[in-house]
Amino acid sequence: MTRNSLILHVTILAAGIAAPLLFPGLVFQFAMLWIMILFALTWDTLGGQMGYNSLGNILFFGVGMYACAIVQIGMFYDVAEYTAAFGAIKVDFTDQQYYMGIALGLVFAAVAAFVVAAALSWVLLGLRGPYFAIGTLGAALAAAELTGAWDYVGGGGGLSMPVFPGEPGARSLFFYSLCMATSIACYFFLRWLYGTRFGLALNAIRDDEDKAEAMGLHTTRYKMVAWSISAFFLGIVGGLFGNMTGFIEPLEVAYPTLTFGIFMVAMTLLGGKGTLWGPIIGATLFHVVKEVTWTYLLGWQWIALGLLIIVNVVYFQQGIMGWMREKWPERFGLVVDTRATISRREDAQ
């Protein structure tokens, strides 16, 4: 880590710790910012680094959310009875029960999302290009529909999460710090991962999968592990988000394919896919602009989102990081051979 990069990391960490203390009213929004950053980072693992553009990664978010809820409630109550009563049964946990439940629930959420991703990868990762995108979109839509029909977890009616045993201020700080810790852990893990042979293998798959396979890489195995890793983090954050909202249901909260599922893609493209910092910049910019302007757009916000995607994809595909890399290549350690560029220009003329 160079000195500049160390300063940058420490500044972000300090800002992350200071933000909820300086603006106590916005803690939920700050927590959402960390979640958005994690969304973009995990989407980029496949979409940017590996070239597999998924439209349905939100599936693992929902799986984690439901897995966490089932463990939290199921440890002390019968889940089927609880959901059948539609809130008539009040869960009453002691502090110890609650924290134990959420800790186990998050672990189980991560494992469940990991397992679902590994199982689905056999089906979906054999598809390429547009079929993969449409297949994952179909999987996410199907998961929402099927969960809505599953009475054990309350079906389309949803279920209420256990109530946090402390004060409201402590509650938001508790979840904020968990979201922040998860995102930071995810960042450092991916940063390390992209530097290893594994990261190189992912890039090789993106550049030419058939050649990578011919060179002896077990591409299917790499794809499966990469997808399961992003699912792992999405599962944790899904469990956290379920507890933050306090009430979960399939269409709007757990599997919001057309909101969070699309935000992931839009944020990564905005920041520049295939880079480590692109998703973070894109997510921060997108989330801040969205939170500030969303309520003033009066129903036009979704049209603005769609237009943003179109304009971004059609006219600004390299994203912010890609644009900066073109503008100042030397800052990114790229050497521009002036003579080669000049002679190529002359050739073109």
Residues in contact with another protein by CB under 8 A are: 53, 55, 123-124, 126-131, 133-135, 138-139, 141-142, 145-146, 148-149, 156, 258, 262, 265, 269, 299-300, 302-303, 305-310, 313-315, 317
- Encode 108-129: b = buried (16+ Cβ within 10 Å), e = exposed: bbbebbbbbbeebbeebbeeee
For another protein, give the closer residue by CB, 131 or 323.
131
DSSP per residue, 182-215: HHHHHHHHHHHHHHSHHHHHHHHHHH-HHHHHHT
Enumerate the β-bridge partners of residue 247: 160
Closest contact distance (angstroms) between CB of 348 and another protein is: 19
CB of 131 to another protein, least distance (A): 5
Helix (H/G/I), strand (E/B), else coil: 297: coil
Q: How far is the CB of 72 from another protein (least distance, A)?
A: 27
Q: From the centroid of its chain, how far is CA 161?
A: 22
Selection from 235, 236, 205, 233 nearest residue 218 by Cα: 205
Q: Which is nearer to another protein, 149 or 348 (CB)?
A: 149
Looking at beta carbons only, is 71 or 269 nearer to another protein? 269
Type of residue at 82:
Y
Cα 235 from Cα 108, distance rounded (Å): 9
Q: How far is CA 19 from CA 192, 302, 318, 341, in A?
A: 27, 28, 31, 46
CA separation, residue 241 to residues 62, 100, 169 (Å):
10, 17, 17
Is 125 or 244 the residue whose CB approaches another protein more closely? 125
Min dist CB 283 to another protein, Å, is 17
Which CB, 61 or 176, lies closer to another protein?
Answer: 61
Q: How far is the CB of 178 from another protein (least distance, A)?
A: 31
User: Minimum CB separation from another protein for residue 304, in Å?
Assistant: 9
Q: Which lies closer to another protein via its Cβ, residue 171 or residue 223? A: 223
Nearer to another protein, 13 or 123 (CB): 123
Angle among Cα 291, 281, 222 to the nearest 5 degrees reads: 120
Q: Would you say how long the chain is, in residues?
A: 349
For another protein, the closer of residues 14 and 215 by Cβ is 215
- Cα torsion 41, 44, 49, 54 to 10°: value is 150
Six token digits for residue 107: 């672990």
Closest approach, Cβ 186 to another protein, in A, equals 24
State the nearest-atom distance from the C-beta of 146 to another protein, in Å.
6
In this structure, the number of other CB atoms found within 10 A of the CB of residue 142 comes to 13
Measured in degrees and rounded to the nearest 5, phi and psi for residue 159 equal -145, 150
